[in-house]
A and B are shown apart, each in its own frame.
Chain A
Amino acid sequence: MYEISCDVVIIGGGPAGLSAAVAAKKEGAEKVLIIERDEKLGGILQQCIHPGFGLTYFKKEMTGPEYAGAFKEEALALGAEALTDSMVLEVVPEESAVYCVNRKYGMTKVTGRSIVLAMGCRERTRAGIQIPGTRPAGIYTAGAAQRLVNRQNAVVGKKIVILGSGDIGMIMARRMTLEGAEVLCVVELMDFLAGLTRNRVQCLDDFGIPLKLSHTVTRIVGNERVEGVYIAAVDAKKQPIPETEEFVPCDTLLLSVGLIPENELTRKAEIHVDPVTNGPEVNQFMQTTAPNVFACGNVVHVNDLVDNVTVESLNAGRSAARYAMGTLPAAVRGVPCVPGANVRYLCPHKVVVTAEEETVRLFFRVLKPALKVKLVVKSGGKVLSEKKEQRVNPGEMCHVDVKTGSVSGNDITVEVTGEEV
C-alpha cells in the first residue's frame, strides 16, 4: 500500500478545507495535504457561479469559483499540497491515519499528526421528507440540478416547481429562469423563508417568481417523467388542507429542503456527533472528541454564508497545526455550551478554558424568527454580555463573542428574547 506522511491532513478541498490549509501553513505546519474526491479543488463552490460570496470576508462581491480560487491559490502558494480524485474510505484516529483510494496510487494510507474533517454536507432528498406519489424522472435536489447546469451544461427541465425556500433552491429558480425554463413557484412548508432574505429579493422577486409560504407538495404524478405535482396549503400543524389542494402541471420538481452534514467517516471513527447539528461536537479550537481530529465548515453545522465557513476553518487549520507541532494550549477545564430560549444549537459545543485568555465566537441559529431581539450570554446564571439585533431568522446564522477569562460557571448559555413576527 502506498503511504504518505504529513503534519496536517485535510479531508475535503472545498472552502472549508482550503481555508484550513491556508491557516495551517501560516501557523507553521510543514507538510499539509488536502485530499479531495473531485478532480479539482473548490468543492461545491465550483458550481456556484452566481455572485454574493465574500461580502463580509473580502468586503467585495465574488462568484463561487472566484472565492474558492482565491483560497486555492493562496494554499498552493504557501506550499500546501493536494491529492485530487481521491476518495477517503476511512479515518482511524488511533493510527492518526486516513485511508483513501486513488486511480494512480491505489489504496493509500495518509498519516498526519492531526486530521481536519472538511467533507461538507449533502442535500435532504424527496424520501427524506416522504413526499407521496410515483417515482418518475425529473425529481432533483437543487444542488444536483445546479451541478448539471453549471458544470455539465445540461438543463434538467422546462417547467419547474421548487419545494423549499433554501438558498440553493432560490438561486436555482433564477438560474433556470435565465436558461429559459418556466419556474412556476417556490413552495415553502413553514410560514417563513428558509434561506437568506437577499436571495428572495434577487432570485424570486426580481423575476416575478411566486413564493408560497405555508404550502407543500402533497403528491408527485407521472410514470416515466414528472407530469405535475399537487400543492396544498398547510394548517398550523403543518398538515395539508385537502380543500386547498390543486394540480400544477410541470416536468420537474426541484427540492431545496435542507442540508445534512456528511459525517459517515466521523461516525465510523466513533467521534461524537451532535444529534441536533448532525455534525461532530467541537470545542473552540474546532477539535472533536478525538483530540487529533479537527473539523470545520458544513460538516460541523450547515452555514448560510461561506464567509463564516472561512473564519471557522481558518481557526480549525490553525489549531490543527498547533496540535501537530505540540503548541495547542492545554485545557484547564471544559465548559459545555447549552442552548437557551429560542436557540436551536450552539457551535462550538464546548469552550475549553486554558491558561491563555481568548475571545471565542459562538455561532448559533434561532428556532423561530423574532423582532427587536436581545441576545444574552450567561454562565452559571451570571450575565456575561448582552447584544441587541433588529431581527433574527432561522435561515441566518447569529453569533456572540465570549471572553474565556470571564466564564465563571459550569456552563455557557445563550438566550434570545424578542417580539414574535
Chain B
Amino acid sequence: MKTDVVIIGAGAVGCAIARELSRYQLDVTVVDKNEDIGGDASKSNSAIIHTGYDASPGTLESQLVVAANPMYDQISRDLDVPFKRIGAILPAITDEQYEKLPEIRHKAFLNRVYDVQYLTREELLEIEPELNPEVKGGLYIPRESIIDPFILVQAYAENACENGVHFLLNTRVTDIRTEDGAVKEVVTTGGTIETRYVINAAALYCDEIAAMVGKADYKVVARRGQFFILDKNTSCKVRQIVLPIPTKITKGKLMCPTIHGNMLVGPTAEDLDNKTDKSVTREGLDSITADVKRLIPNVNVRDSITQYSGLRPNRNPEGLHVDTWDDLKGFINLSGVRSTGLTLSAAMGVYVANLMRDLGEPMIFREDYKKTRKGIVRFHELSREEQDTLVRENPAYGRVICRCETITEGEILDAIHRPLGARSMDAVKRRVRAGMGRCQAGFCGPKVIEILARELGIPVEQVTKNNSGSYMVAGMTR
C-alpha cells in the first residue's frame, strides 16, 4: 500500500486533520487500533467547546483553542453537527474565590478572549436559579459552547472519507521505518504502508509512536476523569455550563447540559499508572457529588442514567507540542493534546496543513472537494408533518427501536450503511443514540443486536459491543 500521508489516530484531532488535508491533492490514510472512528479521549469528555479564556497565555494551546472556538458555527452548519452556544458561568462561592476573579478575567484578556464579563450575585441567580445562594459574584463567558462530540468526529471522518481519505480501522501501528533521514513506511497489523508523511495523533499512545522513531523525549500519563450523565427529567437542571474556579491542577468539576438535554456532572482528575483503566469508582463518583454540590446544592446524582470515565492524555513535561525534525523529514508529532483537544481539533487541521506547506509540500487544492456532509436524520427533532412525510417515503422510519430516545430503524440502518458505518452496538449508539437513554439499551439492545447481524450478514454471536472480544451473546439455543 502506498499513500502520501499516514495519520495515526482517528480521534477528533486525527479526523480533523484528515478532513483538512482532504482539501488538497494528497492521498491520506488514517490508521486506528479501534473498530470505530472516534478515538478514546474524544468520546469520553465533557463535550464542551472551550473559548480558551483560562489557557496559559502565549502558548500554542492558547493560540489554537482561541482560534478554533469561532470556527464551530461554520463547522456545525457544514457538517450537520449538533452545537449550541449556551455560555458558561464561573461563580465564586467563597471570598477567596471572589478575589481571584480579576486575575481570571485578566488572563482571559491575555488569551484574547475579550468578552468575559463580571456578573453580580443577583445577575447570576437570575440566569441560574439552581446556583448556591451563597454565591458572591462571578464571571460570564458567553462563547463557551456544547457539542455532540461523537457526531463531530464522525462528521470530520465521513467528510474526509467522501473526499477520498482512506480509513484503516482495527489496525494497530507496530513500527515506523525511516530511510535517509525521512519516514518511509508505517508497519501495521493490517500490512505495511509506504508514505511520505506520518502524523502522530495517537494521543494517549503518542509517546509510544514517537519512540518508534526515537523522538519520545516525553511521557504520557493517563489522567482519568469520571462523569455522571443525568436523566433528561432530573429534578435539578442548569441552563448553562457551570464551572468552578479552576485550580492549578484541573479545571475542576462542572455541571452542564448536554446538547441532547441530559445533565453532565464531573470530571475527576486522577493520574493512573496505566493507560487502560476506564473504571468508575465509588470514591471518584462521591467526590464529584461533594464538589458539585458546592456550586449546585440540589444536584441529584440518583437520577444518573450512566457513569463513565475517560482517559485524558497528560504530557510530562506539560504543554501542547507540534514537532518536526530536520533529521526526520515527514514526521509530524503531536503531543500534549489534552482536555482541550476536542475544541482545538478544528484549528489543528489548519495548523498542520500550514506546517506541511512550510515544509515544502505544494498543497494544491482539489477542485472536486465537497465541504459539506449531511448527517443522519434526527427523527425526534422533526415536526409531526415532517415525521409523517419521512415515514411515507421510507417505512423504516415508522418503527421506533429505542423508545427512550425515540430512535427509528431508519436511523439505525443509515448509521450502519453510510460511509464508515457502524459495526458494533456502541458505534450505533454513538451515531444515533439508540441505547443512550434511561433504560440503557434494556429494550432496544436485543433489537439492535438483531439488526446489526441482519444488516452486516453475520451470525448473532459475532455482534460486538465495541472492539474484538466484546461479544454480546455466547451462543444460540438452537
**Pair A101/B446 contact, Cβ less than 8 Å:** no
Check A153/B476 contact, CB under 8 A, given A99-B384, A103-B395.
yes
| Cβ-defined contact, B470 with A106, below 8 A | no
B474 near A157: Cβ-Cβ < 8 Å: yes
Question: With an 8 A cutoff between CB atoms, is B403 at the interface?
Answer: yes
Bound Cα distance from A85 to B447, whole angstroms:
13
Complex Cα distance A133/B280, Å? 5
Inter-subunit contact A156/B470 (CB<8 Å): no
A127 touches B440 (CB 8 A): yes
Kindly identify, within residues 366 to 411 of chain B, every residue whose CB is under 8 Å from any CB belonging to chain A.
384-385, 387-389, 391-392, 395-396, 398-400, 403-404, 406, 408
A76 on interface, CB distance cutoff 8 Å: no
Residue of A nearest to B460 (CB): A154
B470 touches A225 (CB 8 A): yes
Which residues of chain B are near A137, meaning CB under 8 Å?
425, 464-466, 470-472
A37–B403 CB distance below 8 A = yes
Question: Which of A141-149, A316-324, A377-385 interfaces with chain B?
Answer: A141-149
Contact of B467 with A by CB under 8 A: yes
Cβ-defined partner of B399 (8 Å) among A85, A128, A149, A251: A85
CA separation between A79 and B408, bound complex, in Å?
31
**Residue numbers in A under 8 Å from B406 (CB-CB):** 87, 89
Pair B279/A133 contact, Cβ less than 8 Å? yes
| Complex Cα gap A49–B250 (Å) | 54
Contacting pair A122 B442 (CB below 8 A): yes
A152-182 to B contact mask, C-beta < 8 Å, 1/0: 1111111000000000000000000001000
Contact status A156-B477, CB under 8 Å: no
Verify B467–A267 contact, CB threshold 8 A.
no
Is B400 a contact partner of A37 (Cβ separation < 8 A)? yes
Segment with Cβ contacts to A, from B179-187, B209-217, B303-311, B352-360: B303-311
**Roughly how many angstroms separate A219 CA and B279 CA in the complex, as a whole number?**
9
Q: How far is the CA of A179 from the CA of B439 in the complex (A)?
A: 26
Q: Is A406 an interface residue (CB 8 A)?
A: no
Q: Which residue of B lies closest to A148 (CB)?
A: B446
A156 adjacent to B472 (CB under 8 Å) = yes
How does the 8 Å CB contact mask read for B435-478 relative to A, with 1 for contact and 0 for none?
00011111101100110000000001100111111111111111
The reply to whether the CB of A403 lies closer than 8 angstroms to some CB of chain B is no
Given the complex of chains A and B, what is the CA–CA distance between A151 and B442 in angstroms? 15
- Counted as pairs of residues, one from A and one from B, with CB atoms less than 8 Å apart, the total is 143
* Chain A hits for B305, CB < 8 A: 125, 127-128
* Cβ < 8 Å to A, chain B residues 419-447: 425, 438-443, 445-446
Q: Mark B257-289, 1 if CB is under 8 A from A, else 0.
A: 000000000000000000011111110010000
The CA-CA distance from A104 to B398 in the complex, in Å, is 8
Whether the pair B445, A144 counts as a contact (CB closer than 8 A) is: yes
Distance to closest chain A CB from B399 (angstroms): 6
B233 within 8 A of A: yes
Indicate whether A420 reaches chain B with its CB closer than 8 angstroms: no
> Which applies to chain A's interface (DSSP): helix, strand, loop or mixed?
mixed
**Contact A156-B399, Cβ < 8 Å, known A135-B308, A144-B446:** no
Q: How far is the CB of B452 from chain A (nearest CB, A)?
A: 12
Size bracket of the A interface: 35 or more
Decide: A155 and B477 in contact? CB cutoff 8 A.
Answer: yes
Contact of A107 among B306, B384, B443, B471 (CB under 8 A): B384
User: Bound state CA distance, A50 and B387, in angstroms?
Assistant: 40
Which of these, B438, B461, B469, B476, contacts A225 with CB under 8 Å?
Answer: B469
Shortest CB-to-CB span from A86 to chain B, Å, is 8
Bound CA–CA A107/B196 (angstroms): 55
Cα–Cα, bound, A202→B183 (Å)? 68
Q: Contacts A1-B388, A107-B387; is A132 near B450 (CB within 8 Å)?
A: no
- Say yes or no: A152-B450 contact (C-beta < 8 A), given A106-B388, A136-B470, A179-B477: yes
- Select which of A104, A123, A154 is within 8 A of B477 by beta carbon: A154
Per-residue 0/1 for A199-229: is the Cβ within 8 Å of any B Cβ (1 yes, 0 no)?
0000000000000000000010001110000
**Chain A 92-125, CB within 8 Å of chain B: the 1/0 string?**
0000000101111111000000000000001101
Q: With an 8 A cutoff between CB atoms, is A126 at the interface? A: yes
Q: Which of B280, B281, B408, B449 contacts A154 (CB 8 A)?
A: B449
Query: What is the 8 Å Cβ interface bit string for chain A, positions 1-37, against chain B (1 contact, 0 not)?
Result: 1000000000000000000000000000000000001
Bound CA–CA A267/B438 (angstroms):
15
Chain B residues whose CB sits within 8 angstroms of the CB of A223 once the complex forms: 276, 278
Residue of A nearest to B400 (CB): A87
Q: Is A410 an interface residue (CB 8 A)?
A: no
Q: Is A130 in contact with chain B by the CB < 8 A criterion?
A: yes
A134 close to B (CB within 8 Å): yes
* Min distance, Cβ A106 to any Cβ of chain B, angstroms: 4
The residue of chain B having its C-beta at the shortest distance from the C-beta of A181 within the complex is B474
| A132 to B398 alpha-carbon distance, docked (Å) | 38
Contact A158 B474 (CB under 8 A): yes
* Contact status A134-B473, CB under 8 Å: no
| Interfacial chain A residues near B285, Cβ < 8 Å | 130, 132
Whether A125 pairs with B398 at a CB distance below 8 angstroms is no
Please measure, in the bound complex, the distance between the C-alpha atom of A154 and the C-alpha atom of B442, giving whole angstroms: 15
In the bound assembly, the distance between CA atoms of A264 and B232 in angstroms comes to 11
Return chain A residues, CB-CB under 8 Å to B398.
101-106
B472 near A106 with CB under 8 A, answer: no
Residues in B neighbouring A1, C-beta threshold 8 A: 384-385, 388
B279 interface neighbour in A99, A102, A134, Cβ under 8 Å: A134
What's the Cα separation between A127 and B305 when bound, in Å? Answer: 6
A184 to B425, CA, bound (A): 27
B278, B281, B474: which contacts A156 (Cβ < 8 A)? B474
Structural contact, B476 and A155, CB atoms closer than 8 A? yes
Q: Given A1-B385, A101-B398, A102-B398 in contact, is the A224-B466 Cβ separation under 8 Å?
A: yes
Residues of B within 8 A of A (CB): 233, 276-282, 285, 304-308, 384-385, 387-389, 391-392, 395-396, 398-400, 403-404, 406, 408, 425, 438-443, 445-446, 449-450, 460-461, 464-478
Closest 3 CB pairs of A and B: A224-B469, A137-B465, A103-B398
Sample of 9 A–B contacts (CB below 8 Å) = A101-B391, A102-B391, A107-B388, A125-B440, A127-B440, A137-B472, A141-B442, A148-B449, A264-B404
By a beta-carbon cutoff of 8 Å, the part of chain A in contact with chain B is: 1, 37, 85, 87, 89, 99, 101-107, 122-123, 125-128, 130, 132-137, 140-141, 143-144, 147-149, 151-158, 179, 219, 223-225, 251-252, 264, 267
